[in-house]
Amino acid sequence: MTHAPLDDHRVHAPADVRPRAGGEFVLYWVQTTHRAHDNFALNFAIEQANALGLPLQVYHGLRHDYPWASDRFHTWILESVADLYADFEAKGINYAFWLDRSVGEYTEWPAGRRGQGEAEKRRNGGAEPQSVSPVPRSPASPTPLVALARRAALVVTDYFPTFIAPRQTRGLARKVETPVIAVESATVVPMAYHQKEQSTARGIRTVLMEALPHYLWPVGNPELKIRRGIELPFDGSAARRLVGTAAGIEALVAGCDVDHSVPPSTTFRGGTRAGRARLAEFLRTGIGNYTEDRNDPNKPDAVSRLSPWLHFGNLSIHEVLLAVREAGPAEQYAKYLDEALTWREVAHNFCHFNPRHRTMDGIPAWARKELSDHEADPRPHLYSLEELEHARTGEELWNAAQRSYLREGWMHNYMRMLWGKTVLQWTPNAAECLRVLEHLNNKYALDGRDPNSYGGIMWIFGKYDRPFYRRPIYGTVRYQSLRAAKDKFDVPAYLAKYRA
């Protein structure tokens, strides 16, 4: 059977890298690919372990101080961990999960880092947190990751072009002598294949279609040859026991120094099993009407809604596209392919090749100039971040869209476009609008902190687009109207679903 190739384009390694002599095992450090199947980084680690005659140790850590850390994201990851324990055990692969229960620096948008436990203290009226049991660890002692990496012959991790993954990978490489190699599993066509940033969907579409016959195949799952246990520098038994139930996960999250004001999603559950169930439901009830109904926010089952599971790496994009192709029909698959392949991979391309993808410099020069030229245009209203975050504007349709983020952690793509375009009218300039959109998206969206997020946000400001008729505030950047939505779908029905 033909398999998707694990070629050099997927492997991001230092020049002339060689395994560290005397290493006890190969270490696969899970960052963004939360699955034990169809995982190129895992496959590469298995191949290296087999070639070296060593066992494989999988390490997965969850800290509390990543940006926008909250109950919502911690819960999703712990739900994923429950599946990972079972799936790695079925493969005979050592999997160790470490949950950071310490009370340390807490990161909050836009950039501030505060002292120990300040996030929790503020939420408890200044009192010391009651639910967190700090883990005593001297500042000089290494983290479990560093301790394991120093014993390994080779560290393999996930390549991801944005959020904290690049910084974390570089940070580990500086701390250990063991080589650190990142392998990409997030896209069908590897990001490095393109060799440059593509400025339009049309431009990348041609490249993708030419490469697709080579890359879109089932991902192989090689067998590990050497199976033996590894002594760990921590005890993960309590976390393993508790992730098996919803109550256990809730207790674990309550004991972490994260933002408890953002609750778990009311609609979505993390993990490979939940993702595959949603994929199966889409194949049964959604793909047949995808072309006709995908732009109707009142028909969410007409779209796959798989972006959270793709973001967290619970599902492989190969698995999804091959399943949709098999289910058909061909016309519906072609449209889905354009959305899930072209628009998703142009966003990954953007983040991979453009280190300024989170800034105004990520916006095309023509659009930046237009928005700057119209910065002094009067705004209909200027809302504070708090008013926007809590859906307290004068536009009920916008409020309803924001409430979908607050409650579910997901927003229909058509509403995301209206949602983002409208904030340009309610902020003093494009730079402030960009900061607000990044914060709202990354704090509440399950699929935030992702290349797709940054591609979508930058589209609001003219990325991948062309000039349109000139308007106040927008200049020639595309304008979209909340009031025109009534001609597109049943607005009262949407408002009723997400009423205050």
Which pLDDT does position 488 carry in this prediction? Answer: 93
Give the type of residue at 95.
Y
| Mode of pairing for the β-strands spanning 154-158 and 26-30 | parallel
Which pLDDT does position 133 carry in this prediction? Answer: 44
- Output the average pLDDT for the chain: 92
Interval 61-77 mean pLDDT: 96
Interval 449-468 mean pLDDT: 97
pLDDT for 413 beyond 80: yes
Interval 364-373 mean pLDDT: 98
Which pLDDT does position 140 carry in this prediction? Answer: 62
Share of the chain above pLDDT 90, in %: 89
Which pLDDT does position 14 carry in this prediction? Answer: 87
Interval 339-350 mean pLDDT: 97
- Alpha-carbon span 82 to 270, nearest angstrom: 9
Which pLDDT does position 15 carry in this prediction? Answer: 86
Interval 418-435 mean pLDDT: 98
Report yes or no: 450 and 163 within 8 Å, Cβ to Cβ: yes
Confidence band, pLDDT 50/70/90 cuts, at residue 1: confident
pLDDT for 107 beyond 50: no
| Mode of pairing for the β-strands spanning 180-183 and 11-12 | antiparallel
Confidence band, pLDDT 50/70/90 cuts, at residue 105: low
Which pLDDT does position 136 carry in this prediction? Answer: 46
Indicate the SS3 state at residue 78. helix
Element spanning 473, H or E: none
Indicate the SS3 state at residue 27. strand
**Which residues have a Cβ under 8 Å from the Cβ of 300 and sit 6 or more positions away?**
412
Which pLDDT does position 328 carry in this prediction? Answer: 84
Which pLDDT does position 116 carry in this prediction? Answer: 40
Share of the chain above pLDDT 70, in %: 93
pTM of the model: 0.93
Q: Using alpha carbons only, how large is the chain's radius of gyration in Å?
A: 23
Span between the terminal Cα atoms of the chain, in Å? 53
- Alpha-carbon span 476 to 173, nearest angstrom: 45
Which pLDDT does position 141 carry in this prediction? Answer: 79
pLDDT for 211 beyond 70: yes
pLDDT in tens, 4-59: 999 999 999 988 899 999 999 999 999 999 999 999 999 999 999 999 999 999 99
Which pLDDT does position 139 carry in this prediction? Answer: 53
pLDDT for 106 beyond 90: no
Report yes or no: 451 and 161 within 8 Å, Cβ to Cβ: yes
Verify cis geometry, omega within 30 degrees of 0, for the bond prior to 329: yes
Which pLDDT does position 103 carry in this prediction? Answer: 76
pLDDT for 297 beyond 60: yes
Which pLDDT does position 110 carry in this prediction? Answer: 33
In this structure, is the dihedral angle defined by the CA atoms of residues 333, 451, 372 and 423, taken in order, positive or negative?
positive
Domains of the chain by start residue, with CATH: 8-186+231-246 (3.40.50.620), 360-497 (1.10.579.10)
pLDDT in tens, 470-484: 999 999 999 999 999
Interval 110-126 mean pLDDT: 39
Confidence band, pLDDT 50/70/90 cuts, at residue 129: very low
Worst-scoring range by mean pLDDT, 137-146, 226-235, 334-343, 426-435? 137-146
